[in-house]
Amino acid sequence: LASQDIILSLLGSGEWVSGEEMAGRLSISRAAVWKQIQILRKRGYDIASSTRKGYRLASGPDLLHPDRILGCLKTKWMGRSLNLFDSVTSTNAVALSMAEESPHGAVILAETQSEGRGRLSRPWASPAGGIWMSIILKPQMPLSHVSRINMALSVALCRSISAVAGLQAAIKWPNDILIGERDEEGNWDGKERKVCGILTEMKAEVDRLDYVVVGLGINANVDLSAFPEEWNATSLAKEAGHPVPRADLICRILEEAELACEKAAGSAEDFQDIYQEWRSHSATLNRWVRISSADGEMMGMAADLDFDGALILELEGGGRSRILAGDCIHLRPCLHREAA
């Protein structure tokens, strides 16, 4: 580790640390500590100094640093192994390649992705300012419960976005998080925009889950000007009116994800409240939707969401269909009235 990194990790708690203590830890002079602090300030770290108390990290630039995240992280196992990269092809690809040797809850983070991807290998824009994170999970659960992981992470994201950015997040089935507003009757206003996507991948034997990799792509403070309008994307910064503290959001997500994943790996009873919360945060339920899946295209009313994550579609032509995953387009009420 470079001296600056050691100083950053010492300051990671946000408490005052004396120059003498830092000098001792680094085996350098107090003048040399001062010089390193100046370099860190030039790099964007806001470091307060006091002749009596020493130094304190007031705020950092919007760059991620493992020590800062680990310094604020209150989890038992989630994110305890944290790997931060400047740029990777895709954090899911890196996580899949590292999964065999990684512990349960290991996290891969990158400032940018050159080949970020979403469901069905579709490209995913990943500029600086976002949170591009993959979590390696090795839960003891049957293969058929994997959709619970997706549901648990959706709930964890909604809770964290609400707590850290003060925004109301909703879940677009099957794997997107939207920011939007409801009217007095609790109906979405139809102007929700996508702020996050979840990509759950797994490696398994016929009867045994080896590991799951959950990729989260969050448009935290990204510059939206490069996103085409038809992507219907927004950022947390735009919705909140100010940049969100990424490290804090990451910590909160990992804390909520630990709780939710433990419930997902438990009994049906354990998972019950995650399921209820997932269902109640749905932006899809009771909406007219068009679904494309391996079985073809269908239009209808999203009548229910099952305990295993499946969407129950009341078909336009009558009858019901149960769909585990697919592309979902929310139809605007007026558009549907025209079509109907």
Cα atoms in the 13 Å half-sphere on the side-chain side of 10: 25
Pick 151 or 254: Cβ nearer its own copies: 151
Pick 26 or 202: Cβ nearer its own copies: 202
Window 265 to 324, contacts with its own copies (CB under 8 A) = 293-294, 309, 324
Residue corresponding to tokens 């939206």: 224
Q: How far is the CB of 174 from its own copies (least distance, A)?
A: 7
Residue selected from 134, 147, 235, 282 as contacting its own copies according to rule CB under 8 A: 147
Q: Does 176 bind its own copies (CB under 8 A)?
A: no
User: Residue count at the site for its own copies (CB under 8 A)?
Assistant: 29
User: 254, 146 in Cβ contact below 8 A?
Assistant: no
Q: Does 328 bind its own copies (CB under 8 A)?
A: no
User: 185, 207 in Cβ contact below 8 A?
Assistant: no
Residue selected from 94, 171, 199, 285 as contacting its own copies according to rule CB under 8 A: 199
Q: Does 146 bind its own copies (CB under 8 A)?
A: yes
Instruction: Tell me how far apart the alpha carbons of residues 303 and 289 are, in angstroms, rounded to a whole number.
Output: 10
Q: Does 123 bind its own copies (CB under 8 A)?
A: no
Distance of CA 126 to the CA centre of its chain: 13
Q: Does 155 bind its own copies (CB under 8 A)?
A: no
Residue 131 neighbours by CB under 8 Å, 6+ apart: 109, 216, 217, 218, 220, 246, 249, 250, 253
Residue selected from 2, 184, 185, 206 as contacting its own copies according to rule CB under 8 A: 206
∠ CA 33-36-42, rounded to 5°: 145
Picking from 140, 136, 77, the residue whose alpha carbon sits closest to that of residue 101 is 136
Q: Does 19 bind its own copies (CB under 8 A)?
A: no
Q: How far is the CB of 90 from its own copies (least distance, A)?
A: 12
Q: Which residues pair with 315 in a beta bridge?
A: 300
**Structure-block tokens of residue 325:** 């995953």
Q: Does 79 bind its own copies (CB under 8 A)?
A: no
Residue selected from 51, 186, 208, 225 as contacting its own copies according to rule CB under 8 A: 208
Instruction: Tell me how far apart the alpha carbons of residues 168 and 162 are, in angstroms, rounded to a whole number.
Output: 6
For the CA atoms of 43, 252, 169, 175, the dihedral, rounded to the nearest 10 degrees, stands at 100
Residue selected from 174, 180, 197, 300 as contacting its own copies according to rule CB under 8 A: 174
- Binding window for its own copies (CB under 8 A); candidates: 105-113, 144-152, 243-251, 276-284: 144-152
**Structure-block tokens of residue 54:** 């020493």
Pick 7 or 155: Cβ nearer its own copies: 155
**Which residues of the chain form contacts with its own copies (CB under 8 A)?**
96, 119-120, 140, 142-144, 146-147, 150, 174-175, 199-208, 210, 293-294, 309, 324-326
